[in-house]
């Protein structure tokens, strides 16, 4: 870091002054806490309630049919949430990372941080590592269970030479392992693997019927659920942890911020609500085995509790924590960059590509597709707009 002790801000010669010292002085933060303890405590409970309900809603809509949630409402939650995740990656994570450790920041002008543009490189590294993990999980499932892309089978399917047995195998194997393909659920199949959890798409239902496994006597249904669960859970956990890193930082800031508190409070409420929809929508399509039927609710609670706990910690450190310090900028800048990479990969590959481009079971209903796209762009646009304030 630039030597702040030798820099006199009241006597600066722009021809000889060290640029890093000037930037670090201008950007240096202090502790801006200005009281309003009651409002800050209320933020703990308001954000806990809103973020938890938003996260639980898509999961409950999919796993509790007795709630009779209209399909259009579920579609809104899922694709609005997808748009939120994509906008969060670019507007709420990557852009702040440039302010914290980018080449024009105090950190980015000092020491080794000045040797390279770190935010995009950290995000790129994160993307490639997530890709490697995603590919590794799929490769593991293919090797362990013998499912995968078979060029000959797919070519026969494309040319109309596929026999019914091969079609049943193809439809019930690899495609089911991705979350984009599990929206249309047969209630009979749903009741087998997890009384509260949908686990198979239309094509998988046909495959299960062909195998005679929906009568509760066979184990094929459990095997399908286990394979798909293992394929998807690692990618989801990385997504949630990426969002949680960000939630911790904004929670700490809300606990100690000064004059900006009045603006940040409502903005962060909506911010966490929309992110919760994205997390919950992604979680709702993962088929959990019956032995882990508690897990989606626990993951919802983890997200819902993160920001309120961070706000409480921020209140406890209200006279000590300095969000503008050199160390705080390094930590938040690196975490924001890592999280940006996670959400960019998840949003573009796991959500957009697999839901819209590579999902063979995607609806052909024009009205439904229009609703999906409108919700997607609405979520992306509103979350991007929130970036103006937080």
Question: Token pair for residue 111?
Answer: 């020491």
What value does the mean pLDDT take over residues 149-178? 46
What is the model's pLDDT at position 323? 74
- Give burial (CB, 10 Å; 0-12/13-18/19+) of 120: middle
Choose the weakest-confidence range: 64-78, 132-146, 203-217, 284-298. 203-217
* pTM of the entire predicted model: 0.74
What is the model's pLDDT at position 11? 67
Distance CA 194, CA 269 (A): 33
What value does the mean pLDDT take over residues 129-143? 82
pLDDT over 70, % of the chain: 72
356-370 pLDDT, tens digit per residue, is 888 777 888 899 999
What is the model's pLDDT at position 303? 93
Question: Is it the case that residue 385 has pLDDT exceeding 60?
Answer: yes
Supply the DSSP string of 16-62, one letter for each residue.
Answer: TS-HHHHHHHHH---------HHHHHHHHHHHHHHHHHHHHHHHHHH
Question: Which one-letter DSSP state was computed for residue 285?
Answer: T
- Closest-CA residue to 350 (of 234, 210, 261, 224): 234
Choose the weakest-confidence range: 24-33, 76-85, 102-111, 252-261. 24-33
């Amino acid at each position: 870091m630039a030597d702040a002790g030798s820099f006199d801000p009241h006597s600066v010669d722009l021809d000889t002054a060290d640029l890093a010292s000037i930037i670090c002085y201008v950007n240096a933060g202090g502790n801006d806490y200005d009281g309003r303890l009651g409002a800050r405590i209320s933020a703990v409970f308001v954000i806990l309630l809103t973020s938890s309900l938003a996260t639980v809603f898509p999961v409950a809509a999919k796993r509790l049919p007795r709630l009779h949630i209209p399909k259009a409402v579920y579609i809104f939650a899922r694709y609005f949430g997808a748009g939120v995740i994509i906008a969060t990656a670019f507007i709420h994570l990557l852009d702040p990372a440039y302010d914290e450790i980018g080449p024009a920041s105090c950190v980015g002008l000092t020491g080794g941080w000045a040797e390279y543009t770190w935010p995009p490189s950290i995000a790129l590294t994160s993307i490639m590592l997530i890709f490697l993990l995603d590919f590794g999980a799929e490769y593991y499932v293919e090797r362990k269970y013998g499912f995968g892309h078979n060029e000959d089978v797919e070519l026969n399917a494309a040319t109309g030479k596929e026999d019914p047995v091969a079609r049943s195998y193809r439809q019930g194997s690899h495609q089911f392992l991705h979350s984009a393909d599990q929206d249309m659920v047969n209630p009979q199949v749903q009741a087998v693997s997890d009384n509260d959890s949908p686990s198979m798409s239309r094509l998988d239902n046909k495959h299960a019927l062909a195998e005679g496994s929906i009568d509760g006597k066979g184990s094929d249904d459990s095997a399908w659920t286990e394979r798909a669960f293992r394929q998807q859970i690692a990618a989801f956990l990385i997504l949630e942890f990426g969002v949680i890193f960000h939630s911790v930082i904004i929670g700490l800031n809300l606990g100690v911020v000064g004059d900006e508190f009045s603006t940040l409070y409502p903005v962060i409420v909506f911010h966490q609500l929309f992110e919760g929809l994205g997390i919950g929508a992604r979680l709702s399509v993962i088929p959990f085995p019956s032995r882990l039927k508690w897990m989606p609710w626990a993951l919802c609670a983890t997200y819902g509790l993160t920001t309120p706990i961070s706000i409480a910690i921020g209140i406890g450190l209200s006279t000590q924590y300095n969000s503008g310090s050199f160390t705080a900028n390094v930590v938040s800048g690196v975490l924001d960059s890592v999280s940006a990479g996670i959400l960019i990969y998840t949003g573009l590959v796991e959500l957009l590509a697999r839901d819209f481009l590579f999902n063979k079971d995607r609806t052909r209903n024009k009205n439904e597709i229009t609703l999906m796209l409108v919700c997607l762009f609405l979520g992306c646009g509103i979350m991007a707009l929130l970036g103006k304030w937080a």
